[in-house]
Amino acid sequence: MRHIERVFRDAGVTGHLYALDLDTGRDLGVRGDDPVVLASVFKVPLLVAFHRRAAAGLLDPTERVTLSPEERAPGPTGIATMLDTVTLSLRDLTNLMITVSDNTAADAVFARVGLDAVNTAMADLGLSHTHLTGNGGELHDTLLADADVPDLGELWARLDEPGMLSRLRALDPSRTTRSTPREMARLLAMIWRDEAAPPEACAEMRRLMGLQVWPHRLSSGFPYDDVRVSGKTGTLPTLRNEIGVVEYPDGGRYAVAVFTRSFQPLAVLPEADAAIGTTARLAIEALRTLT
């Protein structure tokens, strides 16, 4: 634990971490029950709610959705960056929202699932500290409104103004979409144990998280060819998160949730990204050697 704290400190972040052995229930936390801002990690509760509603017959995963350039939630990847009208099935939209964190795809899924359905699903699964306050587009709008800036570029440029960070509701777990590291790890455990939704839906969720493209956070901590890393990142100014499951060839499976907040208002901070992988590895190695 001291070792984990030192990695966080050396990377210039405060970190929250919770790791859980999926098969023995053994766990380890560093401020793992503190409320944290989910950022794009909210797409995992959304994905779970999507599959639960599909299983209940309340939506059709193969329904085709057409998105014109005018209805694009802003974002750095995927459909959010495209110029022309696209048509995709709902379930392929969940693919983009998980694998590249596509905000337009996520908000299109969000529109079909609904905020209340996500919060109800989390409550039904016993995750009482997990709560969504809105979709990605709304999060974007509160950021600009709170900062009184016209776009995210200017927000970044003015982020170091005194008082700016504390004015932003999107960075305050009591006023935005939130959970705790423990509850996010528990949600992953339910996905991996086929408890969050029907087994074939859980398998599909595991598949998508295994296809996530980012190598710089959780994945970077496990430079082993035979270890499978699945995850979902979340990013907002000064916040860098990832939750995921790490699977070893000997059958060991571990859910881990890491949420960091950097002291420096910098957009590029590779050591903070890498600290997520390093601390996750330290936590999982500790769980593995307790046997």
Partner 1 sequence: MNLVGHLGCFVVVAEELHFGRAAERLGMAQPPLSQRIQRLERELGVRLFDRSSRRVELTVPGRLLLDEARDILSRVDRLSSLAERARLGETGTLRAGLPPDLGGSVVAALIAAFRDRRPGLRLDLREIGTADQVRALADGTLDVGVLRHPCDARDLAFGPMLTQRVGVLLPAAEEPPAHLHLSDLAGHDLVAAPRDEAPEIHDDLLATCRRHGYDPPAVHEARHPQFALGLVLAGTAVALLPQAEAPGAVWRPLLGDPLTWRVSCAWRQDAGGDDVEAFTATATAVLRDEAGMTPLAPPPARRVALRPASGFLA
Give the integer Cα–Cα distance in Å for 104 and 70: 11
Return the residue of 193, 228, 252, 274 that touches partner 1, per CB under 8 A.
Answer: 228
Residue 276: how many CA atoms within 13 Å on its side-chain side?
Answer: 31
Regarding 226 and contact with partner 1 (CB under 8 A), the answer is yes
Contact string (CB under 8 A) for partner 1, positions 239-258, x = contact:
--------x-x---------
Residues 91-110 contacting partner 1, CB under 8 A:
99
2 binds partner 1 (CB under 8 A): no
Between 180 and 278, whose beta carbon lies closer to partner 1? 278
Query: Is residue 68 a contact residue for partner 1 (CB under 8 A)?
Result: no
Which residues are within 8 A (CB) of 132 and not within 5 positions of it... i.e. 6 or more apart? 38, 42, 45, 46, 115, 118, 119, 122, 177
Chosen residue from 25, 153, 223, 251 binding partner 1 by CB under 8 A: 223
Of 196-215, which residues contact partner 1 (CB under 8 A)?
Answer: 211-215
The nearest distance, CB 83 to partner 1, in angstroms, is 24
Three-state secondary structure along 166-177?
HHCHHHCCCCCC
259: CB partners within 8 A, 6+ apart: 15, 16, 17, 36, 37, 181, 234, 239, 241
Residues contributing to the site for partner 1 (CB under 8 A)? 99, 211-215, 219, 223-229, 247, 249, 285, 288-289
